[in-house]
Structure 1
Amino acid sequence: MSYAYPRNIGASTLPSFTPSKSPRTVDHPWSGFPRAAKQWIAEGADSLRTARPRNRHDVRRSAVLVFKRVFTIANAVILLWVLTLWWGERTVFRKSIEACAWENWESWPQDAIPHHVAFIADPQLVDPHTYPGRPWPLSSLTVQYTDQYLRRTFSSIQHDLIPDSVLFLGDLFDGGREWATSTTSSPEDRYANYKDSFWKKEFGRFMKIFLEPWLKQNVSPLDGRGRRLIASLPGNHDLGFAYGIQEPVRDRFEAYFGQGNRVDVIGNHTFISVDTVSLSAMDQPNPQTGSSSSSSNDESLPPPIWKEAADFLDKVPAYRAKAEMDELRMLQKQHDGIQFDYRVVDVKEPAIHDNIPNTPLQLPAILLTHVPLYRKPATPCGPLRERYPPSSATEDLEEDEPNSLRIAGGYQYQNVLTPTISTEVVSKAGPNVVQVYSGDDHDYCELIHREFNGSPNEITVKSISWAMGVRKPGFVMTSLWNPLDPHTGESTLKGSSPTIQNHLCLLPDQLSIFIYYACTLLFTVAVLLMASVYHAFFAPEPPSSNGSLLPLSDRRPDLSKRQYPTSGMSSSTLSGPGGLAGRGGGTVLPRRYSGAQPPQLAYWALDQDDILTTTSKDKGLYRPARAHGFRQKCAHMTGNFVKSIRVVAQVVLPVYLFLIWRW
């Protein structure tokens, strides 16, 4: 077949059309992918197919074409985002948990089989009480991201560290004290619409975040004592504080989580949990009588809110004896066939066998309280406190106000217990209290109480939530090892060897992760905007070394309906849908200029609206037309910028949603 051309155009000017497969064409196996991801993958595959060399002379051209289509600014930004999201949603969490592995800090003898405990403090599930003035949807996003952080970190703790026991130190909810019961209303009018059903939904939310991951990791401890999760210790956000507590609110909490005052033997140590938020009403004036609570003996009034905790402390020696003797029977494998007596007892009081001595076996005692014990003002908390590190890094200060717990109180809270309550708790818990764990402050604090018998060490555990005023949440890991003689129940350790080792495990700084995301977003916008400005205003004209004057495209304009002047040409005019007329069976290109008007060599045969530009729907082998006016260049820049943002977002957003969904 031969072709005829106008006299002023050489034969080399005829464009060669290379048809390509539509980028919307996606094979069936990819049907399960998101639409944006399928289009991105299909366009990349289409680029490779289009650039496939047909002979050895096209190899270099194809390689350059593939390089330009793969190594683009948009693809580089997408790769940056994928790496950033993987770091922020996976790497930092994995590294923080791996750094806290038990073998990294334990120092027991080689044959020791310790019992591992994780202390979790102040999760305080975010609810309408946390940020009452925060509008929607910011409030909903806060709830979503705090829950996701708690679920992800606690799941990692259970999956990677596998503690034998998990103990919560109160403040499970943030507004638990505010939600009405079936018989009471909220103490604040602004929460009057939140009924008992709302609290039950919050309870289900707590179970989903913490109980489900714990149940999935069903691994028996090496010491054979069984796994435990105890969350019955209440905090002031769960019940209130002192006489601010409503008894139905406390009864509801104990009905779902268990008794706040209890004794447990874990890892051959006796754990004594005390409801100190209720006990704190003991040395405060009774609002009903106006006198000191401890001096009121009016039997016509209901029992004061502190009565249950005070009675428990009076009977702690008996409760300890029972729990420790039961543990000794477990060691002797005598737990089967125990004879129980039959008598009427209070449902809130554990049954005590008459044949069990009231003298404990002298296991090391560990005291659990939500509110920290009293200490002198300005008592330092140590170097691990985040918000206010020690004032001096070279010497130990006896007083350091910024580094200490503030001795203060307010509505429904008190930073530390009073000296009277602190002495009452420590003295009645037993003569050998060696360790105290508390919460409430949200930051870490550690000190030795010289004012109490035995000088117990107290650790105030960090909050595990990133919404509680600390940039790096955390929890305390405790390793217990106290081997006992199964016949006598006495410890086999020589001398006064320590039986407890503690370690603060820090969790990722979620706020810093969000800041890093924001910086990456600003960088993305800046890079894509500069690229759009460059292509619109400063990019050089595309070279035409091959002599081709027409756009290289597989999409041909429909010229069959247009009328062109044919002066100076053969009587054979345009024919066929291609808009070309042949002479002797050939075709010619139409002329559309006259007089001294010079032809537009680049697109001389097309109208202005026929100039083809690159769109997301058409990826032909052509170059976009150059815009010559300032407004056209601005429009070209805006279009390229919006398109590049859309291309990046269509890939990055599905990746991000996948990472936060599959935690």
Structure 2
Amino acid sequence: MSFIHERRTRNSRLLSRNTIINLLRFFWVILVIWCEFGVFFYSLSDCKWPDKELKEAGSTEKPTRVLLISDPQLPNPRRSGISWFGYSASSTRYLRKGWSVVTRLHPHAVVWLGDVLASGRYVTSEDEYENYVDEFKGIFSTDKSVPNYFVPGNRDVGLGESSTFSKNSRKYFTEYFGPLNQEVNLAGHRLLFIDAPGLVDEDYRRHGMGKQYETWTPAVGGPIEFIASVAIKASSSPIILFSHIPLSRPASTSCGPLREQGSIRASAGHGYQNMLGKQTTRFVLHTLHPAVVFSGDNRDYCNITHQLRSTDANILAKTTVREVTVKSFSPSRHIRRPGFQLLSLVHPDSAVSPHGPTFADAHCLLPDTFRIFSSIYVPALVLTAIALLYFNISPDRHHRRSSTLSPVSVSRSRPGSPPPGPESAIWSNWSPRRSNGPTTPSTALPPSLRVSSAKEIFTFRALSSSSTPGSPLDSPLLSPIPLFHAGHEDEMNPVHYPSQHHNDNIWPSGEDTHEAPSFLPSPSAHRSERKWSSWSWSWSFVFRERRRRVTIALPTWGEMRRFGASLNNDSTSRGKRRGMVWRLAGDSMSVALPAVVTWALIGWLFF
């Protein structure tokens, strides 16, 4: 018996309230670390440089790796009012965490496809702009040996005329980020970065004057003049074009399966335009003959192929140009998962054949913050709330059940005897059969099961005038019959019950009473009531050569009614209710505090 008692004590300690609360603390700390930082590493587990495609084509040269980032749109700390709980702060923390993981890919060069600053076009003070750029460089820091090339976006330098745009935005961008239009030679390729917002502005002026590109006099230092100067150079190196604004395409053009929804459609408004004009697109493609085009601005991924006129003598060998619109690196309401692009280059001279591939690109994704919240945080919060409610509402019920069983000595039953009743241990100690000696309980029943007078229930007497050893006489406390409800005839023979037909108000004791005795419910009553439970989950397993079963069930309607009624009974119930609320609040704070501290530390490291 001592062994069984020790084992039950040990099991109760393992499932004690303090143990569960400590497990919940540990669970939430691990969950916060994973959701706030670990998911970034997991999302990039399959993101690899596309070097394998070039090696399969026969190239033996080590590729040059270029990282393409579009639309980081860093918020301005002075204008957005960044706080720890604001959207701007959340976006900034996301950028920091994403960049800290992406830099582990060790690129040889980084190309930024515009909209580097979310409000660069509104900054009128050079000091503010300088602080803004310092904030950007503090987040997106790279090794000094890694060059960074910037393409201007409409949020950086503006697009169109507006009194709210800074007149010095282009000057500031050129001073801190580099030329608006530039050409870079890298791994035998000509990388062209064009000022797409400036190209749209000049296209509006050209169209307003009713001139074609052939008769148009380009603006000095403008994008059209730059494109024309590149075309004059005689070079066989492949051209890779980078533009913030995508090129024109029909509205029905599909962006491929990697796009989240819809396609890019032509639209324009205050300070933006979704794509270049048709004539501008034709001018760019037929003048530069790029091998591939990379663009941004649209936030979502898009992969299309532009058809070129095969009658043009300069492009007889090439009639199509592929364009990839890179996903936004910052979170946005337009997409669920941000992303970026990887570009690998090999020198054309190292290619096995003249027409072999000299570049390859791959699409990579960052974590979905909305899915993390809805699929991880919310279910974990609900399960934690259920666990805390269970351990704060049910301790009294568990205490009553254990107190019913504890004061009664339990003896080993004979083979073939019925199992112990779940409501009282007396069932396991007494049997109506004749026994060799007294088997009555050695200790008194707990006060919860005592009655004021045995005569208030009934007097059970044997059928014979003389009692036999081991049979109950006048004490109903030795019989299991009073502990079961009289209405459940499936548990016992109804002939053993005292008859009430002689008088509805007179019990065998002779006393006049108007209230029926209070009986404890039988096991069948619990089973029938449990059938009304809306949901339950059971798990059976074998532990220490014994089969065990764990069942989790929602409270039944009867239990909820009894619980609700008990809350309004008396001052003791109200005191218990207040104590339960304070205990629940304390446990909730105790579980949440380590997770909040962990979240704050991660936010401090990436803010």
Common topology (TM > 0.5): yes
1:445 Cα shift?
0.7
TM-score under structure 2 normalisation? 0.64
Contact 2:219 2:225 in 1 (8 A): no
Q: Which of 1 and 2 has greater Rg?
A: 2
The 5 Å alignment of 1:404-553 reads 404-429=263-288, 431=289, 433-451=290-308, 453=315, 454=318, 455-467=320-332, 469-484=334-349, 492-515=351-374, 516-536=376-396, 539-540=399-400, 543=403
> 1:90-112: CA deviations, max 9, x gaps?
33211221210227964514733
Give the 3 Å change call, closer, same or farther, for CA 483–417 of structure 1 in structure 2.
closer
Partner of 1:122: 71
> 1:18-66: CA deviations, max 9, x gaps?
xxxxxxxxxxxxxxxxxxxxxxxxxxxxxxxxxxxxxx99976884575
Partner of 2:253: 379
Contact 2:59 2:351 in 1 (8 A): no
The 5 Å alignment of 1:599-614 reads none
Q: How far apart are the structure 1 equivalents of 2:173 and 2:597?
A: 41
Partner of 2:147: 228
1:255 Cα shift?
0.6
> 1:227-267: CA deviations, max 9, x gaps?
32212x10011111145576521111111101020010112
- Structure 1 segments unaligned to the other structure (5+ residues): 1-55, 182-195, 219-225, 319-357, 389-403, 485-490, 548-626
Partner of 1:162: 106
Asked whether 1:78 is paired with 2:25, we answer yes
The 5 Å alignment of 1:287-436 reads 291=209, 308-317=222-231, 358-360=233-235, 362-388=236-262, 404-429=263-288, 431=289, 433-436=290-293
Q: How far apart are the structure 1 equivalents of 2:383 and 2:280?
A: 56
1:199 Cα shift?
2.9
Contact 1:442 1:470 in 2 (8 A): yes
Give, as a single letter, the amino acid of the residue that structure 2 aligns with 1:158.
T
- Larger relative contact order, structure 1 or 2 (CA cutoff 8 Å, min sep 6): 1
Q: How far apart are the structure 2 equivalents of 1:629 and 1:101?
A: 66
> 1:297-354: CA deviations, max 9, x gaps?
99xxxx9978522222232146xxxxxxxxxxxxxxxxxxxxxxxxxxxxxxxxxxxx
Q: Percent identity?
A: 28
3-state SS of 2:44 partner: helix
3-state SS of 1:100 partner: coil
1:650 Cα shift?
2.5
3-state SS of 1:72 partner: helix
- Structure 2 segments unaligned to the other structure (5+ residues): 310-314, 408-569
Residue 284 of structure 1, aligned match among 199, 204, 219: 204
Partner of 2:129: 199
RMSD (Å), alpha carbons? 3.6
1:371 Cα shift?
0.6
TM-score under structure 1 normalisation? 0.58
Give the 3 Å change call, closer, same or farther, for CA 410–261 of structure 1 in structure 2.
same
Q: How many residues align?
A: 430
Give the 3 Å change call, closer, same or farther, for CA 640–246 of structure 1 in structure 2.
closer
Asked whether 1:101 is paired with 2:48, we answer yes
1:423 Cα shift?
2.4
Residue 261 of structure 1, aligned match among 169, 172, 181: 181
Partner of 1:650: 593
Give the 3 Å change call, closer, same or farther, for CA 104–386 of structure 1 in structure 2.
farther
Partner of 1:113: 62
Q: How far apart are the structure 2 equivalents of 1:450 and 1:635?
A: 74
Contact 1:282 1:293 in 2 (8 A): no
Give the 3 Å change call, closer, same or farther, for CA 304–143 of structure 1 in structure 2.
farther
> 1:425-477: CA deviations, max 9, x gaps?
23333x4x110000010001111111364321100000011135211111111
1:179 Cα shift?
2.2
Give the 3 Å change call, closer, same or farther, for CA 536–371 of structure 1 in structure 2.
same
Q: How far apart are the structure 2 equivalents of 1:267 and 1:450?
A: 27
Q: How far apart are the structure 2 equivalents of 1:64 and 1:521?
A: 26
Q: How far apart are the structure 2 equivalents of 1:643 and 1:66?
A: 21
Give, as a single letter, the amino acid of the residue that structure 2 aligns with 1:100.
C
1:125 Cα shift?
1.5
3-state SS of 1:177 partner: helix
1:174 Cα shift?
1.6
